[in-house]
Amino acid sequence: MDNTFLTKVNDTYEFNFSKDDILDKDILKISDDSFHLIKDNTSFNIKLVEKNFFDKSYTLKVNSNTYKVKISDSLDMLINELGLESGKAHLDNDIKAPMPGLILEINVSNGEEVKEGQPLLVLEAMKMENTITSPKDGVIKYVGVTKGLSVAKNELLIEFE
């Protein structure tokens, strides 16, 4: 796979670029979500307003204009070219432990409505705290762990309705 990307802006305009194209630009990172770009002697202030890593979509504010951007890598483009489903992978209703660890915090309860990206619990593994977030909007059917419980890899943590 090469380092080619297809960017769709506001579901209207499409641009192809490579990793080298990005590295060749005069971009300065100001903070975690702010950047400064100079292109053709023109200055651009860029702010990352919203991000969704699951579907590779972002909302950017460039100077005073807001843009919705969706990025596809070479694998996404190949899947689309073959006519296969290129949307989100099927999301199970179960959240399982990605590794063995200790439950430090539980942020949800049975019957609670949650949004995609919302923190569900904190799992300590290999001396690091890992926040497990919701992969989708939904309602919690069952929380299968308690604070202080040791869990094994692939053990059921939370189930969605």
Q: 70-122: per-residue pLDDT in tens?
A: 988 877 777 777 666 544 444 568 999 988 999 999 999 999 999 988 999 99
Taking only the tens place, the pLDDT of each residue in 122-147 is 999 888 888 999 988 999 999 999 99
Cα 8 from chain centroid (whole Å): 17
The better pLDDT of the pair 149, 5 is held by 149
Assess whether 75 and 103 both reside in one domain.
Answer: no
Enumerate residues 6+ apart whose C-beta is below 8 A from 147: 103, 104, 105, 106
Taking only the tens place, the pLDDT of each residue in 69-81 is 998 887 777 777 7
> Is 89 among the domain residues?
no
Residue where a domain terminates, one of 81, 113, 138: 81
Binning pLDDT at 50, 70 and 90, where does residue 31 land? very high
Assess whether 102 and 155 both reside in one domain.
Answer: yes
How many structural domains are present in the chain?
2
The better pLDDT of the pair 23, 42 is held by 42
> Is 86 among the domain residues?
no
Cα 161 from chain centroid (whole Å): 22
Q: What average pLDDT does the chain have?
A: 87
Assess whether 57 and 12 both reside in one domain.
Answer: yes
> Is 76 among the domain residues?
yes
List the domain range (segments joined by +) for residue 152: 94-160
* DSSP class of 4: E
